[in-house]
Amino acid sequence: MKVLRIIGIGVGILVALVAAGIGLLHALFDGEKIKAELTRVTMEQTQRKLDIAGQVELAVWPEVSIRLGRVSLTEPGGKEGFAALDSARVAVAVLPLLSKHVQVRRIEVTGLKATLVKKKDGTLNIGDLVGSDKPAVDQPAPKVGAGATASSPVQLDIAGIRIANAQLTWRDEKAGSTTSLSNLDIGSGRIVADGAKQTLAVDALSIAAKGKTGADAFELKLEVPKLLVSPDKSGGETLRLSATLAGSGRNVVAKLLLSGVEGNAKTLKIGKLALDLDATAGETTVRGRLESPVAADLAAQTLALENLAGKIEIASPQMPMKQLSLPIAGKLRTDLAKQNAVLELGTKFDESKIGLKLDVAKFAPLALGFDLDIDQLNIDKYLPPSSATPENAPREDKLDFSGLKGHDVHGKLRIGALQASKLKLAKLNATVRLAGGRLEVAPLGMNLYEGTANGSLSLNANGNQLALKQNLAGISINPLMKDLADKDLLEGRGNVALDVSSRGESVAAIKKALGGSASLSLKDGAIKGINLAQSLRDIKGRLGAKQDATQQARASDKTDFSELTATFRIANGVAHNDDLSMKSPFLRLSGAGDIDIGAGQMNYVAKTSVVANSAGQGGKDLEHLKGLTVPVRISGPFESLSYRLELGNLIADAAKAKVEEKKEEVKARVEEKARDKLKGLFGR
């Protein structure tokens, strides 16, 4: 009984002490005074107005804490809102309160909303709060505690932080962009920081956020079980970061894992950085993984990934091979202080081996050098087949070169063999330069279709302009035209020269504004679609009808030639020619007319003549047209050209030709008789 009595007395004393402590806390606590002091200090130090709605309440269960209702803070000057929160709770240690010291144990914030602004001069609207900007009014900093000053090293020992349903807005006034982050939750276990020793320890840090960017919804999650930072040694357990982006018909999931993290205030090493990507767009999926150890010099702000390895897999039922796998190997070195980086990557898939080197001299605005080397590449093999577009369907042929602006890029491109959009090239060698919104590819050389090409190509975002200069030598023209434009109009081998330029916001506008010059010189070829020799043979039976003869182009017909030359003057999308010259064993062809590139049609008159020595080689049947010129009008859209032999005046021309022939015969006989008489007179 004596023991129970002693215990009872002890409990009574303990209860009395607790009651006395609680009474003392309430006696010492003055909510209105705290509100006034916080408001005053905030205005004096930052020139911002702090408004605390309602009462500042003291709670003693389950732990001693201070509760706040809605709180708002303005920008300097007090006119615009900067941040606000719905409620906050700050738990403190009990014993330090008895000596009028506040030691924070836990912080909970709900409904925080804040707007961070990067001004046009590069400063932040929180600069005065974090010490990067001078206060709006220079005043002595008030004391924050007995013996303490604003410059005292920060010391924290917080059991945990919880921020729920926060919303942050980032506005860049210089770039004119705004990004919002909502549903932000931040939680942690114990946080211990010592500013004097420059140490920080965090347990169970987690950050989660949801939001929207345009029509896409995103979600971010960060988890760090343990993190330790100190001048001598820093490290942590595995860090996991995941990001999800979901929108109409697409979904992207990216996961970043950092393990084996260790270092100090100057250096950081990560045993393994692993990035996983899983993306879906329609029926196409992309999966990839990249890994590398990481070495960073925090003082010099350098970062190195010396052994970057991984693989990217692409699958789509629209691709001819259905699936593509790209192994990747390389390394990356970057200097954040100098804003430069060097990246080397290599990959090999199917028969292609690709090597890429990037040298970034400046991140923003981008200044980039590159060297791309590909032994062989068939792009058509990896792209879905092009679908036929109905004639009445609207065409999306808009061109926008504005993406060329704001960058400085230069480099070299080499491809041993290339096929793209059916076009087959070899030994492609190009030097690329992009600056001031103008892309210049010069020199641009390659082998193609049994010949070579050399010249330049330029695109200019200022006015959506383009220019092309190319000299093609020894080219086989028929397979080139088939692969490039799907046209079977011409055969032969020779030289082609182009010097054209244009401007416009669509493919159609570019065609209609095309200007410049072109020339053509071919040997041993043929004009496809018509057999002029056969057509002329057929004229004999129709000469009396005095009617033109029209026929559509036929793929099986062609007119052979030994030589063909022509030059073109191009203006407003129309190529004009007036010096066509074509020769065959028994035909000669000249002509003049227009090829309307913008409208996709032509109107051209070719004048066909039968040479005097047309006998043999299939020309015997053309004797009746010897000395005559037969006009052939070629007209209509490129897809269905028609050929009309204009025979209306051919009989009159034939009669005139016969009269002229008789005159020449009579003249020749008269001259011969005159010579005979002269010989008799002079005895010779």
Per-residue model confidence as pLDDT tens digits over 158-190 = 888 888 888 888 888 877 777 777 888 888 888
Show the tokens assigned to 663. 């005159």
* Cis check: omega of the bond before 293, within 30 degrees of 0: no
559 and 630 share a domain?
Answer: yes
* Domain assignment of residue 665, given as a range: 658-684
Out of 126-140, 510-524, 571-585, pick the least confident. Answer: 126-140
CA distance 627 to 624: 9
Q: Which two tokens stand for residue 291?
A: 């890994």
pLDDT at residue 20, as a whole number? 47
Mean pLDDT within 540-544: 54
Residue 197 shares a structural domain with residue 77: yes
Do both 64 and 207 map to the same domain? Answer: yes
590 and 673 part of one domain: no
Rounded Cα distance, 475 and 529, in Å: 21
- Do 601 and 638 reside in the same domain of the chain? yes
CA dihedral 462, 463, 466, 467 (to 10 degrees): -90
Q: Establish if 395 belongs to a structural domain.
A: no
Q: Which residues pair with 241 in a beta bridge?
A: 222, 256
Residues 527 and 633 in one domain: yes
**296 falls within a domain:** no
Give the residue from 186, 189, 222 showing the smallest Cα distance to 204: 189
Cβ atoms 353, 291 nearer than 8 A: no
Q: Is omega for the bond preceding 76 within 30 degrees of 0, making it cis?
A: no
- Compute the residue count for the chain: 684
d(CA 18, CA 61): 12
Chain centroid offset of residue 154 CA: 46
Residues 678 and 558 in one domain: no
pLDDT at 2 over 90: no
Residue 7's pLDDT is what? Answer: 45
Same structural domain, 669 and 619: no
pLDDT of residue 158: 83
Helix (H, G, I), strand (E, B) or coil at 321: coil
Q: Which of 379-388, 523-532, 670-679 has the lowest mean pLDDT?
A: 670-679
- Rg of the chain (C-alpha set): 43
CA distances (Å), origin 335, targets 342, 352, 369: 9, 32, 16
The answer to whether 289 and 296 have CB atoms below 8 angstroms apart is no
Mean pLDDT of 655-660: 56
Beta carbons within 8 Å of 577's beta carbon, 6+ residues apart: 566, 567, 568, 569, 591, 592, 593, 594, 595, 604
**580 sits in which H/E element:** strand 574-583
Contact assessment for residue 106 and residue 158, using Cβ atoms and an 8 Å cutoff = yes
With respect to residue 400, please indicate whether it lies within any of the assigned structural domains. Answer: no
Same domain, 121 and 159: yes
Helix (H, G, I), strand (E, B) or coil at 286: strand
Is residue 449 one of the residues assigned to a domain?
A: no
Average of per-residue pLDDT across 655-666 = 58
Among 194, 213, 232, residue at a domain's last position: 213
- pLDDT band of residue 452 (cuts 50, 70, 90) is very high
Tokens encoding 606: 């070719």
- For 262-284, write each residue's pLDDT tens digit: 887 688 889 999 999 999 998 89
| Residues 311-332 as b or e (16 or more Cβ within 10 Å = b) | ebebbbeebeeeebeeebebeb
Residue 640 shares a structural domain with residue 670: no
pLDDT digits (tens, 9 = 90+) for 4-54: 444 444 444 444 444 444 454 554 456 677 777 778 888 888 888 888 887
State how far the Cα of 249 lies from the Cα of 282, in Å rounded to an integer.
5
- Which amino acid, one-letter code, is at 57? E
Q: pTM (2 decimals)?
A: 0.67
Is residue 654 classed as helix, strand or coil in its secondary structure? helix
Q: How would you classify the pairing of strands 81-85 and 57-59?
A: unpaired
Instruction: Tell me how far apart the alpha carbons of residues 452 and 495 are, in angstroms, rounded to a whole number.
Output: 9
Of 186, 213, 240, which residue is a domain's last? 213
Q: Are residues 592 and 679 in the same domain?
A: no
Tell me if 473 is assigned to some domain.
Answer: no
Q: How many domains does the chain have?
A: 3
Question: Are 559 and 662 contained in the same domain?
Answer: no
Q: Considering the chain, what percentage of its residues have pLDDT values greater than 70?
A: 76
State the pairing for strand pair 408-420/367-378.
parallel
pLDDT reported for residue 89: 86
Q: How confident is the model at residue 201 (pLDDT cuts 50, 70, 90)?
A: confident
Contact 295, 304 (CB under 8 A): yes
Q: Which residue has the tokens 């330049």?
A: 456
Q: How far is residue 421's CA from residue 381's CA, in Å, rounded to a whole number?
A: 10
Q: Which residue has the tokens 């402590």?
A: 21
Residue at 582 is within a domain: yes
Q: What is the Cα–Cα distance from 593 to 212, expressed in whole angstroms?
A: 59
Cβ atoms of 380 and 425 closer than 8 Å: no
Does 119 reside within a domain? yes
* The pLDDT of residue 645 is above 80: no
Single out the residue of 110, 170, 138 nearest to residue 46, CA to CA.
138
Task: Give the number of other Cβ atoms within 10 Å of residue 100's Cβ.
Answer: 9
Share of the chain above pLDDT 90, in %: 30
Q: Could you give the CA distance from residue 31 to residue 39 in angstroms, rounded to a whole number? A: 12
Contact 409, 433 (CB under 8 A): yes
Of 34, 61, 63, 66, nearest to 50 by C-alpha is 34
Distances (CA, A) of 188 to 102, 207, 219, 596: 21, 9, 19, 71
Q: What is the pLDDT of residues 324-381, one digit of tens each?
A: 888 999 999 999 889 999 999 999 887 889 999 999 998 888 899 999 999 999 888 8
Return the closest-CA partner of residue 622 out of 531, 542, 541, 533.
Answer: 533
Helix (H) or strand (E) segment spanning residue 323: strand 323-335
Q: What is the model's pLDDT at position 426?
A: 95
Average pLDDT, the chain: 80
Residue 338 falls within a domain, yes or no? Answer: no
Tell me how far apart the alpha carbons of residues 150 and 35 are, in angstroms, rounded to a whole number.
20
Q: The tokens 């942690």 sit on which residue?
A: 188
Query: Residue 262: is it exposed, middle or buried by C-beta count within 10 angstroms (0-12/13-18/19+)?
Result: middle
